[in-house]
Structure 1
Amino acid sequence: MTLTQLEIFSLVAELRGFTLAAHRLGVSQSAVSHALKSLEQELGVELFRRHQSQVELSDIGEQLLLRARAMLGLANTLRQEAADARGLKSGTLRIGSFGPTSSIRLLPRILQHFRQAHPGIEVHIDEGPDRQVLQWLDERRIDIGFVVLPEERFDTFALMEDQMIALLPLDHPLASQVELSLKDLCSDPFVLTEAGSSELVSRLFNAARLSPNIRYRCSQLLSTLDTVSRGDAITLVAEGSLPIESNPQYVKRPLLPAVVRHIGLAVLDQRQASPATLAFIKLATALDYR
């Protein structure tokens, strides 16, 4: 068993195809097939179920994928620690990011400083909803992820806080109020942003035993803002996720009582984190995001 075989196994599982994995790796499809066949023969199990142009993991394949990713992560850490000992700065850092707060407000600034300090580190960024980032951490597909705190399953590091605010059309009757309660947001049509802090929004209403009148679901915040600006719905979002606009077509109102959202970084196990991951954490936690 080789690390190359494990890398091919992990990539085929991620992309669900031999051809896509071969293209990503810059090798022939036959080379990918041969590597996986050799790995299956050595392990004595079938890792994939083949269905014409697509493949899916077998039950034992699902189980072994987590082990393979753990081994690949440790191998990457080993390479980086050895490179540091030789005075080199090389390696790979895989980051998971969600929504505008981390992808637009936090990550670009951190990366600017990180690339200046560690130009030899190759950075890969995956973006998805906050729940997806947590799954990627569990599956070891990323080294570090931006998360909404607290997250007790991981080692976490606080970065910033903002608050949840209601967004209303300019001519909405509630726009005249200084603050709003969650109950105020339950009658009108509601648009829920699936990315970003959607999990937090759902938890807030559930904890208060309230049900917003969800009429729209948008995968992107900009679509949510457009829905509110047209007067079609109201919503609840994190203030830090909003773009800087000189003349927004909606009004912002804080909640009463206020709901603070904490954003931070998470790793599966700080003790096994690579030097690049630890350097990213050290740099990110030293910056001021106000």
Structure 2
Amino acid sequence: MELRQLEYFVAVAEEAGFTRAAARLHVAQPGVSAQIRQLERELGEPLFDRSGRTVRLTAVGEAVLPYARAALAAAGGMRQAVDELTGLLSGHVVMGSVSAPSVLGLPGMLADFHERYPSVEISLVFNDPVTLLDGVLGGRLDLGLLDLGLLGLGAGLPPDVEVQVVVDQPLVAAVRRDNEAPSGTSIAVAGLEGRPLISLPPGTGLRATLEDACARAGFAPHVAFEAGEPLVLGRLAARGLGMAILPESAVAGVESELRVLALTGPPMRARMGLVWRASGPRSPAGRAFVEHARHHLPDLGG
């Protein structure tokens, strides 16, 4: 008994005729008839009643049909499993990010995936949140790491995108220890007015959050220096270039040179999230990569 015989048998049963089945299978009609006769000889019973103008299943044929369909489905599942394994062995995944925050340990996550799937190529690209989100929606990126504080993204992600919040921490103000900033451990947003600030550039969630908070307080922030990496903001503040507005974790490495102040009225937060298409990446390697990243990185809720 061969899968081809079962395929021909199911086609004849569904088309109620040998000629239509042959046309559906793109083979010659005598070949279909020959394979069905061979299957009937192996089973020892006729599968079709050929006495009328329409070919009909016999009682034995009716009983055999579900098993033939199940066998063909199982064979299809085997082929799919092989295709997916082949994809994982030779695929290519692309992750986009606005930055590579050290608090997440992205290099370790990527290294672990490479160790598990050594033949899958990995690309990590950096861009602004809007471009990255468009890349995820368009299938050019398997996964994105976005700054959710960007106005319009925090509460308005498209319905066909899923998100896992991986960073949720307060924004703080940091100045060199000898800076004349107000004494104490905190500064209100209103106290930022007129001060030279150090911030991420426009188009980032941190900058949008800062500008929105200042606008609510009735002024526009005076950003004297910009840098594209949060860790650099703290280093610039440590050189006395101004007051850095940055995520709490970004003062690492220079905290001994800085005075860190909590921001109040209102407090501001830095939120980053993994985003991917709800339907999942198109490739097996991409789907495996998304699951790996979701398991490896924190899940702080939506």
Mark yes or no: TM-score above 0.5: yes
Q: Which residue of 1 aligns with 2:262?
A: 254
CA contact (8 A) 2:227 2:233 kept: yes
- Shift of residue 206 of structure 1? 3.5
1:152 to 140, 149, 157: 157
1:244 aligns with 2:234: no
Alpha-carbon distance change, 252 to 85 in structure 1, aligned in 2, over 3 angstroms: same
One-letter amino acid matched to 1:251: R
* Amino acid in the other structure paired with 1:217: E
Flag structure 2 segments of 5+ consecutive residues without an equivalent: 1-79, 149-153
Aligned position for 1:108: 107
> What's the RMSD between the two structures over aligned residues?
3.1
- The equivalent position to 1:188 in structure 2, one of 174, 191, 195, is 195
User: 1:97 aligns to what?
Assistant: 97
Aligned 8 A contact 1:191 1:215 in 2: yes
CA positional deviation for 1:133: 2.5
Check conservation: 1:166, 1:253, Cα contact below 8 A: yes
Task: Output the CA distance in 2 between the equivalents of 1:117 and 1:243.
Answer: 33
Q: For residues 138 and 90 of structure 2, what CA distance do their matches in structure 1 show?
A: 24
**Could you list the per-position Cα deviations for residues 236-267 of structure 1 after superposition, in whole angstroms to 9, with x for gaps in the alignment?**
11123x16316542222222243333322112
Stretch moving more, 260-269 or 194-203: 194-203
Deviation at 1:190, TM superposition (A): 1.3
Matches within 5 A, 1:276-287: 276-287=285-296
The answer to whether the Cα contact below 8 Å between 1:92 and 1:123 also exists between their aligned partners in 2 is yes
TM-score normalised by L of structure 2: 0.58
Is the 8 Å Cα contact of residues 235 and 254 (structure 2) preserved in structure 1?
A: no
2:233 paired with 1:228: no
* CA distance in structure 2 between the aligned counterparts of 1:91 and 1:179, rounded to whole angstroms: 50
The separation in 1 between residues aligned to 2:211 and 2:89, in whole angstroms, is 43
Counterpart CA distance in 2 for 1:271 and 1:226 is 39
User: What is the rounded CA distance, in whole Å, between the counterparts of 1:271 and 1:188 in structure 2?
Assistant: 46
Out of 152-161 and 218-227, give the one that drifted further: 218-227
**Helix, strand or coil for the counterpart of 1:173?**
coil
SS at match of 2:252: coil
1:179 CA drift (Å): 1.8
- Identical aligned residues as a percent: 20
Aligned mates of 2:297, 2:142 — CA distance in 1: 23
Partner of 1:210: 219
Residue 207 (structure 2) aligns with? 198
Unaligned runs of 5+ in 1: 1-79
**SS in structure 2 of the partner of residue 108 of structure 1:** helix
CA 212–137 in structure 1, closer or farther in 2 if over 3 Å, else same? same
Cα offset, 1:188, TM superposition: 1.0
1:200-224 C-alpha deviation (Å, 9 max, x unpaired): 3333334544321122223344553
Aligned pair count reads 209
Counterpart residue type for residue 152 of structure 1: L
1:8-27 matches, cutoff 5 A: none
> 1:125/1:86 Cα in 2 relative to 1: closer, same or farther (>3 Å)?
closer
Instruction: Look up the equivalent residue of 2:92 and give its one-letter code.
Output: T
Structure-2 change in CA distance of 1:273 and 1:212 (3 Å): same
1:277, 1:175 → 2: CA distance? 50
Indicate conservation of the 8 Å contact 2:88/2:120, yes or no: no
Structure 1 residues 270 and 245, CA gap change in structure 2 (3 angstroms): same
Cα distance between partner residues in 1 of 2:247 and 2:81 = 38
Equivalent pair of 2:238/2:254 in contact (CA under 8 Å): no
